[in-house]
Structure formats: C-alpha cells, structure tokens
Chain A
C-alpha cells in the first residue's frame, strides 16, 4: 500500500488484496461452513443444470413417493416427491436460489441503508441523530417477524416484496450498532485531523468513517444472514412470503405439513435440514468474523 495514501486515510481493510487467501490458514477459520455456503451458492447458480426435473410441475400419479432408499422410492426421484408429484430434489435445488437471493439482497440492502443512516446519525449528531434514533427505537420495539407479517399482509406476496419488507425491518439493527461505532471513531485523531484540514462532512464520512465501520457492517451482515433466512422461511410457511408454486424451502415446509401425520418425513426433514445447514454455516462464519475483526462486537 502506498505511503501517502495510507497517511490520509487510516483504513483497516478487511482482506488485503494480494494476500487475500492468507486468512484461510488463520486459526479457527471455519472452513467447512464456508465451503457449505459456497456450495449452496454454486447450486443456486447452476440450478437449471443440476436439477433433474422441473421443480414447479409434477405428475399427480407420482405423489408422495419416498426417497430412493426406502421402499416405494425410485432413483428417478432421489429424494422423493411432494403432494403434487413434484421432485423434491429439484425443488430443493431451485429453492436454494430463493434463499441465496433473498438472503443476500436483504442483508445488502438493509446493510447499506442501515450503515448509511448509522454513519449519518452518529457523525452529524444533534437533531438528525435524535430523529433517526427515535425512529429506529420505535421500529426495533416490534419484533421483526411481526412487522414483516404485517407489511406482507398489506402489500401482498412476491419475491421483491419480501426482499423490500425484510430489508425494511432489518436495517434498524445495523443503524444502531454502526452509530455506536461511529460515536467512538469520531473522536479519534485522524478524523480530527481531517476536520482541521477542512474536509467537508460528507467527504469525512465517506473516506474516513466508512472504511472503519465496514468491518463491523460485514460481521453484522453475516450474523444476520441466518436470521433473515429463517424469517423468510417463516413468512413463506405462513403463506405471506414467497408465493407458490415457487420452491422456497419455507413453502416446502408448509406443504410438507400436509403429509406429516401420514409419516412422509422427507417433505419436512429435508427442506428444514437445508435451512438449518445454511443458517448454521452462516452463523459459524459470522462468529469467526466477529471474533477476528472486532472484539467490541461481542455483545451482539
């Protein structure tokens, strides 16, 4: 990194460019969870290639087939079929698309909005801070799920709606934490120097404050990913999330409930297992990031 640039911005970059992959060898790096997340993302991207059947259309005569290793199962439908005869494996594969897309989009949007507001609120202070914080507090007073359900009930189902709703509910968490960080960064010398040098407020926020809170934002985003995915699954389960016939894992669980009492376990255990796998991996990764990059965030 060149010297003069380093002087005028005190940046703590998350992953330095040339030695990008060095962190893999660092202690406690959650290799398996990261690989799992990577794999899920790849599956999501390559879904049309990987899935053996069309996830949205099924043959009614083939309904409720168990997975291939049980009696009554076929290798044609490795993981069985659901109540409409649709192939479970294909639905799971396509379902990963929804989880990945919704998850990523929500944390990106919520993260961007929340971080921006957190920085503005923390740095500008006074009445801007008060207003933003009061709104945030009121928003936070409601549990995320309730508000999401309410909004979903008003605006109706749909993927983009879900993304907007979840992002609208989740940005507050970022704003609070980032604002706290900004409050302490604001007092540090390199910021004061920039003020003395005559930088405009916006420039300071963009060039000095932002790079220093990005770490926390990323850690927070990873930690939130799991919750967002569970929330989306919950909303879909209740019928106000992703609409059928899209193969969202949460929707599969709702459908699976129909076969539960008859013992059709694969319709429940498999989609839920996928959710759990993804959330668990995200949580493990997020925990490691938190410990590594910002011990102050431990109270999250």
Chain B
C-alpha cells in the first residue's frame, strides 16, 4: 500500500510540475509578457519597471525558478483591482465555490445514481428510455443556459427563488441544479453502463445460483462493484465542478473563485487569472491523487497492483 501511495505522489508531483511549466511558458511566449503582468493602461515606463521586477530579460530557466519559488511561498502577486494578495483573495472565495460544488455534486449523485441503477435493472424498458432521454438532454444543454432559464421561471415568473447572490439555502438551489445538471447526466450514464456490466458478470450469476433474493443480489453484489467507476468519476468531477463553475457563478453572481476569475478577465486583472488557473489545476491534481487512494481502499485488488 505504501508503495502505491508513493508512486501516486510521484506522478502527482510530475503533473504539478508540468502544469506550472505550461502556464509559465504560455505567458512568456504570448507576445509581450510585460503587458499582461502590468496593470491595464500602463505607460512605457511602467512596462519597463515590470520587466525589471520580473526579470523578463533574464534567461528562461532563471525566470522559471523565480516563478516557482514565489508559488511555493504562496506569493501569487497582487490583484490590480482588489489591491490585495491574490492568494488570500482566492482562499477567501474558495469556501463559497466548494459549497456550491458540494451541493451540485450531491444533486448529481442523488439524481444520477438511482436513475442509472433503475435504467440498468429495467434495461430496454420504458424506465430505461426515460433515463436515456434525460441523460441526453443533460449533456446537450449548456449549464449556464439551464441557469438562465431557471431564473426566468423561478425568479421572474414565479418569484419563488432569488436570482443572485448568496446567503440562504434558497440562493443555493438554482446554481447547484444548474451546475450539477450536466454531471447528473454523466453519472447516470456511467452508473447504468457499469451496472449493466456487473449484472452480466459471473459472480452475479453465481449469486443468483446460490439462491439469493434478487434484491440482495443487486444491493450487495452488484451495487458496490458498479459504484466503483462512478465514485471515481464523481471525485474527479467534484474539483472539475469547482473550476467549471465560473460560468454558473457568473450567471448567479455567486461569490466563488469562478466569479473571481470572471472578474479577473473583465477587469484585466492578470494575477487573479493566473492564480485561478494554477490553483484550480493544483486542486485537480490533488483530488485525483486522493481519489486514487480512496479507490485503493475500496477495491482491494488495486492495492497490490500499485
């Protein structure tokens, strides 16, 4: 088990390295980095000052080392707009995004898993068809459009739910559904196909041959095995949700890191944009690592294969 964890840690470290390198290079080779790194409306003198400050004339690898060392110290620069440390700014907005992502994830699993199981158990019957249609719709509608339409209905026409901001649980409902909708469809699809595969397996056949009641066959033997790929995907999706939420957060003015990114783009606040990407990517790598480890805990086979 230990070997397994170490190996995964190593791979995660490589991913982080490549991520930072990619971002770094992208900035450096896209035109004049000084323009990006300086505030909008900077004069030529300002640009030169920026060049000196960031050492943009020095060799690339020196710059990279300096870049990385700043990151390690948690120094992501100052926000032009908010005039505070970007890292702190990001961290202050993170809980809101996590809350939204958690709510959306709960929604997607609560809808997705049972529908997937029912569709698999009643494969090719009408329940399955409804499930398939639902999955298809979910994957075809942009999440922000779902959000906008919901606002139209529930805020403008019916007046039931608030259309923006945060604070009460009612503020959470629509953004969570808008964000979780696509993932619900994806989880439903995966649950269905995973369950179908498990239901056709030899050990399920043997379970039936043992004379176990069908409910037990499904809930004990099929369910746990079928869930493994779904939970893996869900774990990975959770952090993707946080990052993809930028659009939903913008629609609902939800004060998370996604909206922060949008503000960064709007106000041309480059340090904010850069930090969002770096931190967002880091979160993904870390969560992937944790999910891999969790996977090994659930499925004993993985521990020994490493």
Residues of A within 8 A of B (CB): 134-135, 137-139, 141-143, 145-147, 149-151, 153-155, 226, 230, 233-234, 237-240, 253, 256-257, 260-261, 263, 265, 268-269, 272, 275-276, 279-280, 283-284, 287, 298-299
Contacts and interface: CB of A to CB of B under 8 A. Distances in A.
Contacts of A239: 265-266
Given A253-B144, A283-B139, A149 B163 contact: no
Contacts of B15: 137-138, 141
A141 B281 contact: yes
B60 interface: no
Given A134-B14, A143-B244, A263-B157, A272 B36 contact: no
B284 interface: yes
A234 B281 contact: no
Interface stretch (B61-69, B85-93, B216-224, B246-254): B246-254
Interface string B145-161: 10011011001110000
A231 to B, nearest CB: 9
11 contacts: A141-B284, A142-B243, A142-B284, A146-B244, A146-B281, A150-B26, A150-B274, A154-B27, A234-B142, A237-B247, A260-B151
B26 A234 contact: no
A12 to B, nearest CB: 25
> Chain B contact residues: over half helix, strand or loop, or mixed?
helix
Given A154-B30, A230-B142, 18 more contacts: A141-B284, A146-B243, A149-B261, A153-B264, A153-B273, A226-B139, A226-B140, A253-B144, A260-B156, A261-B163, A265-B152, A268-B145, A268-B148, A272-B145, A275-B145, A276-B141, A279-B142, A284-B136
Contacts of B36: 154
Contacts of B148: 253, 256-257, 260, 268, 272
A138 B18 contact: yes
Contact of B246 (A142, A149, A283, A284): A149
